[in-house]
Structure 1
């Protein structure tokens, strides 16, 4: 039975993950695991989402994405969600829709681990050629992480993200080839 088919029990408290047996390999630490993002984990993901974004996704946004078959993973350590991503495949391209790391764990290389995992899946399972994403123009930290990971800016979408009181912010469109 794969990890994506393991039955999960509802969460009793935010950020606490039900006991599961991982079938996917742990990432760089024996204590860290990368597991499928399931509906049972959405509340834990939302606790990070609400800290990370001024206009966070809702429970319904995540649930709809999962029901649509999008690829999502959570990074866990000691039963705590440290970060997550959600991506969708369109032909030979993968679009990173959402990714965040708990602010308490910034600076530990977790975004890199999540991007590595997404890249591995994109290359070897999805057999994609490109990774794409949008990031707020003002999110300099994320843009640096993406650039260090191999993404380059290929465009901008003016007035893409809501800011406040009807104002909008430019999205920077970035892509990364998955094969040389």
Structure 2
């Protein structure tokens, strides 16, 4: 996957079964411990909100959102490293928040590695606040890393530009 330095047409659309190999390629390039292809397949089959980010004609990012009574949970959000720093992660996150709100969520939750500074900064800039910790949640080369649990209250005034 080569990032086109010129302009591109970003599009976010629902994930399709035919997208799964490309989604898995993005996931594998973005994370040391990626979800498996079967996890994405199961998310589609179970009716989770699964969306992809395209840059012109190729998938460069995705998110998976689970809905529950009054809340949503961002289970996965990734952008291919060659496409970082172009606002695509923010666009995906904002779409996830919009989908959660449209489907009746009052709050959106997610977990993030504290060591993932760019993601932590993105989530905080979009109005997420730390509400907890999950001990030993993420695998690492030397053991486990805790997760920060973040919450976004959709009933509060949205950050500029989201609506």
The two structures share one fold, judged by TM-score above 0.5:
yes
TM-score range for the pair, normalised by the shorter chain length: 0.7 to 0.9
For 1:36 and 1:30, the matched residues in 2 are separated by: 19
Residue 30 of structure 1, CA deviation: 8.2
Pair 1:49 & 2:30 matched: no
Aligned runs of 1:17-96 on 2, under 5 Å?
31-96=9-74
**Residue deviations 1:91-140, cap 9 Å, x none?**
1110000001111111111111111111111112x111000000112111
- Structure 2 CA distance for aligned equivalents of residues 153 and 65 of structure 1: 26
Aligned to 1:147: 124
Q: Which has the higher strand share?
A: 2
> Which structure exhibits the higher relative contact order, with contacts defined as CA atoms closer than 8 Å and separated by 6 or more residues?
2
Residue among 142, 146, 159 paired with 1:170: 146
Q: CA deviation at 1:68?
A: 0.8
Q: In the comparison of the two structures, how many residue pairs are matched?
A: 152
Structure 1 outlier segments of 4+, above 6 Å: none
TM-score under structure 2 length normalisation: 0.88
Structure 1: 5+ residue stretches without partners: 1-13, 16-28
Q: Which protein shows a greater Rg?
A: 1
1: CA distance, partners of 2:55 / 2:33: 26
